[in-house]
């Protein structure tokens, strides 16, 4: 139903856009775009580094230097029908799970401003779980080549089809934005898809001069057909199998995100920090992540440095079914299930990263950024690397060299 | 003694200079507009937050100048207290999350004057050389 609505929004926008009008008159049409042309090299040659965990290939094993990890193009159209009613559609083309660049709808909503302080939206939007979530794909708007993986890879489905409410209020010199959102979404990947439903979030952002404070809480309910089938097999193994399925099942259990962030930017320099806790009683486990970036502006040059850390706080090993209790071939099946379960619960991001970079704003709306990351994977974590080859050893280190041209128009 | 005197002269010169620099930009509306004074925070909200109303005012449309203009860099440095780099990031974040568009930017002070005299709800900043009886200077508090 909502997906249908999103599509009709896009179509009506395309029809309306024939009527572009002069300044200040309504309806008005505004077109904007953003993009990144980026290459990245990883020194881990037996697995792929990716930014999007559901991508099909990346840098390292598949290619020495990959232009697929960070490159993308986004186009946005906004039509203001009246001063209260507007619609916005944003389409993003980037490397997908199937290897294509076919565009996806990132935002498509109808907005009603009941008052200058209160607005309602319905359609497709992006969850505002973390400080930079909503514009995480607009690399120009952030200091880095890509958002810190420790935090921004935690949310499996960032888009949702639903409703949101935003309330702006002023307390003395404080500018406050409260956002409430509710909806569901889906995400396709190579061998299946992930559905999220009944997901909601609340976030509060306060700006006070050069300081921005952010706090957010959200719950995401996800289900994946593949995982449901996996636990159905576990349930065939009697009460011990059922207990394990109940313990690690994803379906019907919320992932809870709590986050706080702060940014201080007096102009000459900036510092930003974020802390996130993910908790769930599923195989996705619980984790804590933190990130900090500082930069200094020297005219058009902005050198910056960042530190990141992610830790899984739940168990990363499960003894599972005891094969000795089952006759062949169930015993072999139990061994296979246990090893798959352990591979899944140990795949959470556990790493420390150090980043340095230099951004050059060489002309308005364009910036060139060079970035070096050193990532130390902890406790046998595969660090979110995909296409792992037989010789790949989890728990090592990785060096990344990235170069990106970011633009907005 | 001579050294101290010259330093004193320097100070006077500098303060005169900064006085003239300060007078080099005025915030204006049409002479027919009701607005005559504005809080600095309200000015920031108009230019940074896509706000188009003020308490007690029907509506108000902020008008910008081209990114290359001297008036613009002076205005943002003095009243809005944001650097061009901060502004570009700020607007990229707002635009691509659907929270707003930057104010309309006109080529120069002359263009702003022409716009303001047509629209009593518009507010802009200009070089004081362009002031005339059709405009009213707004006091920034």
> Of B41, B49, B93, which has the smallest distance from its Cβ to A141's Cβ?
B93
Which pLDDT value is given to residue A406? 97
Query: How far apart are the C-alpha atoms of A359 and A304, rounded to whole Å?
Result: 8
Which H or E run contains A164? Answer: strand A159-171
Which pLDDT value is given to residue A136? 93
Calculate the average pLDDT of chain A.
89
Is pLDDT larger for residue A190 or for residue A244? Answer: A244
**Contact criterion met (CB below 8 Å) for A215 and A259:** yes
Which pLDDT value is given to residue A22? 37
Phi, psi of A104 (to 5 degrees): -125, 150
Which pLDDT value is given to residue A265? 92
Which pLDDT value is given to residue B18? 43
**Contact criterion met (CB below 8 Å) for B132 and B120:** no
Is pLDDT larger for residue A2 or for residue A167? Answer: A167
- One-character DSSP codes across B95-126: HTTTS--PPEEESSHHHHHHHHHH-TTEEEEE
Query: How far apart are the C-alpha atoms of A131 and A213, rounded to whole Å?
Result: 9
Residues of B in contact with A302 (CB under 8 A): 85
Which pLDDT value is given to residue A225? 87
Q: How far from A217 is each of A131, A134, A163, A315, CA to CA, in Å?
A: 12, 15, 17, 23
Which pLDDT value is given to residue A7? 55
Which pLDDT value is given to residue A4? 58
Which pLDDT value is given to residue A381? 83
Which residue matches tokens 């690690």? A248
Which pLDDT value is given to residue A67? 95
| Contact across the interface for A361 and B89, Cβ inside 8 Å | no
Contacts 24+ apart (CB under 8 A), A18-25: A23/B104, A24/B61, A24/B104, A24/B119
Q: What is the pLDDT along chain B (141 residues), one digit of tens a residue?
A: 445 545 555 544 444 444 444 558 999 999 998 888 898 888 988 898 877 777 666 688 999 999 889 999 999 999 998 888 888 889 999 999 988 889 999 999 999 999 999 999 999 999 999 999 999 999 998
Q: Does A19 have pLDDT greater than 60?
A: no
Average pLDDT in the A79-95 region? 93
**Contact criterion met (CB below 8 Å) for A101 and A95:** yes
Q: Which residues contact A265 (CB under 8 A, 6 or more apart)?
A: A210, A212, A271, B86
Q: Does A190 have pLDDT greater than 70?
A: yes
| Contact across the interface for B88 and A408, Cβ inside 8 Å | yes
Three-state DSSP at A138 gives: coil
Cα–Cα–Cα angle for A390, A391, A394, nearest 5°?
A: 100
Neighbour-count burial of A207, counting CB atoms closer than 10 A to its CB (0-12 exposed, 13-18 middle, 19+ buried) = middle
Q: What is the pLDDT of residues A125-167, one digit of tens each?
A: 999 999 999 999 999 999 999 999 999 998 867 889 999 999 9
User: Smallest Cα–Cα separation from A227: which of A321, A341, A332, A56?
Assistant: A341
Which pLDDT value is given to residue A193? 85
How far B56 CA sits from the closest chain A CA (Å)? 14
Cα dihedral B73, B76, B79, B83 sign: negative
Specify which residues A32 forms β-bridges with.
Answer: A76
Which residue matches tokens 């005299």? B117
Q: What is the pLDDT of residues A320-346, one digit of tens each?
A: 888 888 888 888 989 999 999 998 888
Tokens of A129: 């779980």
Three-state DSSP at A25 gives: coil
Neighbour-count burial of A120, counting CB atoms closer than 10 A to its CB (0-12 exposed, 13-18 middle, 19+ buried) = middle
Tokens of B82: 């944001």
Q: What is the dihedral of CA B23, B27, B31, B34, to 10 degrees?
A: -130
| Contact across the interface for A173 and B86, Cβ inside 8 Å | no
Q: What is the pLDDT of residues A198-218, one digit of tens each?
A: 899 999 999 988 899 999 999
Which pLDDT value is given to residue B107? 93
How far A42 CA sits from the closest chain B CA (Å)? 28
| Contact across the interface for B81 and A267, Cβ inside 8 Å | yes
Query: How far apart are the C-alpha atoms of B49 and A141, rounded to whole Å?
Result: 16
Which pLDDT value is given to residue A81? 92
Which pLDDT value is given to residue A107? 95
Neighbour-count burial of A137, counting CB atoms closer than 10 A to its CB (0-12 exposed, 13-18 middle, 19+ buried) = buried
Q: Does A104 have pLDDT greater than 60?
A: yes
| Contact across the interface for A361 and B88, Cβ inside 8 Å | yes
Bridging pattern class, strands A159-171 and A118-126: antiparallel
User: Smallest Cα–Cα separation from A386: which of A41, A55, A42?
Assistant: A55
Q: What is the pLDDT of residues A49-86, one digit of tens each?
A: 999 888 889 999 999 999 999 999 999 999 999 989 99
Q: Of the ranges A177-186, A222-231, B125-134, which one carries the lowest mean pLDDT score?
A: A222-231
> Of A109, A138, A267, which has the smallest distance from its Cβ to B96's Cβ?
A138
Residues of A in contact with B62 (CB under 8 A): none
Query: How far apart are the C-alpha atoms of A403 and A357, rounded to whole Å?
Result: 10
Which pLDDT value is given to residue A6? 53
Largest CA distance in chain B: 63
Average pLDDT in the A354-374 region? 96
Which pLDDT value is given to residue A13? 47
| Contact across the interface for B41 and A173, Cβ inside 8 Å | yes
% of chain A surpassing 70 pLDDT: 94
Q: Is the peptide bond before A27 cis (omega within 30 degrees of 0)?
A: yes
Confidence of residue A23 (pLDDT cuts 50, 70, 90): very low
Which pLDDT value is given to residue B9? 55
Confidence of residue A21 (pLDDT cuts 50, 70, 90): very low
User: Smallest Cα–Cα separation from A196: which of A254, A116, A118?
Assistant: A254
User: Smallest Cα–Cα separation from A222: which of A198, A248, A247, A191?
Assistant: A198
User: Smallest Cα–Cα separation from A45: which of A33, A59, A61?
Assistant: A61
User: Smallest Cα–Cα separation from A201: which of A129, A285, A259, A254?
Assistant: A129
Phi, psi of A120 (to 5 degrees): -120, 145
Residues of B in contact with A365 (CB under 8 A): 88
Is pLDDT larger for residue A355 or for residue A393? Answer: A355
């Amino acid at each position: 139903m909502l997906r249908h609505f999103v599509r009709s929004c896009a179509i009506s926008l395309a029809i309306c856009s024939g009527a572009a009008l002069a300044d200040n008159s309504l309806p008005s049409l505004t077109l904007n775009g953003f993009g990144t042309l980026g290459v990245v090299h990883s020194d881990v040659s037996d697995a792929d580094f990716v930014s999007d965990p559901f991508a099909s290939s990346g840098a390292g094993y598949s290619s020495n230097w990959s232009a697929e990890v960070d490159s993308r193009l986004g186009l946005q159209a906004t039509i203001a029908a009246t001063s209260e009613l507007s619609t916005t559609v944003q389409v993003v083309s980037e490397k997908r799970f199937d290897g294509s660049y076919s565009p996806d709808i990132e935002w498509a909503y109808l907005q009603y401003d009941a008052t200058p302080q209160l607005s309602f939206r319905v359609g497709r939007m992006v969850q505002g779980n973390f400080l930079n979530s909503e514009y995480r794909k607009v690399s120009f708007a952030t200091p880095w080549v890509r958002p810190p993986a420790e935090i921004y890879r935690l949310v499996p489905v960032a888009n949702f089809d639903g409703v949101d409410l935003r309330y702006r209020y002023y307390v003395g010199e404080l500018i406050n934005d409260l956002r409430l959102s509710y909806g569901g979404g889906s995400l396709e990947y190579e061998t299946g898809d992930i559905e999220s439903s009944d997901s909601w979030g609340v976030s509060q952002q306060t700006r006070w001069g050069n300081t921005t404070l952010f706090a957010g809480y959200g719950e995401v309910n996800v289900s994946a057909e593949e995982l449901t089938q996996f636990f159905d097999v576990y349930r065939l193994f009697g009460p011990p199998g059922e207990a394990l399925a109940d313990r690690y099942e994803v379906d019907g259990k919320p992932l809870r995100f709590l986050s706080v962030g702060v940014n201080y930017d007096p102009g000459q320099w900036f510092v930003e920090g974020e802390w996130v806790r993910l908790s769930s009683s599923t195989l996705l486990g619980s984790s804590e992540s933190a990130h900090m970036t500082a930069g200094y502006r020297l005219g058009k040059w902005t050198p910056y440095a960042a530190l990141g850390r992610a830790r899984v706080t739940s168990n990363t090993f499960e003894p599972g079914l005891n094969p000795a209790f089952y006759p062949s071939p169930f015993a072999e099946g139990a061994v296979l299930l246990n090893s798959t379960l352990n591979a899944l619960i140990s795949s959470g991001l556990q790493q420390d990263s150090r980043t340095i970079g230099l951004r050059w704003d060489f002309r308005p709306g364009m910036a060139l950024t060079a970035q070096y990351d050193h990532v130390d994977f902890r406790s046998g974590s595969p660090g979110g690397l995909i296409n792992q080859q037989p010789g790949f050893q989890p728990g090592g280190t990785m060096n990344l060299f990235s170069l990106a041209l970011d633009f907005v128009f | 003694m001579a050294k101290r005197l010259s330093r004193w002269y320097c100070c006077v010169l500098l303060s005169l200079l900064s006085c003239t620099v300060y007078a080099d930009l005025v915030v204006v509306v049409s002479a027919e507009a009701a607005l005559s004074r504005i809080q600095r925070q309200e000015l920031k909200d108009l230019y940074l937050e896509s706000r188009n109303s003020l308490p007690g005012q029907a509506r108000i449309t902020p008008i910008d100048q081209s990114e290359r203009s001297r008036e613009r860099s002076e205005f943002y440095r003095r009243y809005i207290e944001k650097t061009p780099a901060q502004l570009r990031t700020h607007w990229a974040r707002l635009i691509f999350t659907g929270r707003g568009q930057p104010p309309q930017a006109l080529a120069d002070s002359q263009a702003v004057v022409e716009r303001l005299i047509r629209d009593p709800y518009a507010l802009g900043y200009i070089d004081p050389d362009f002031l005339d009886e059709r405009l009213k200077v707004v006091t920034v508090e």
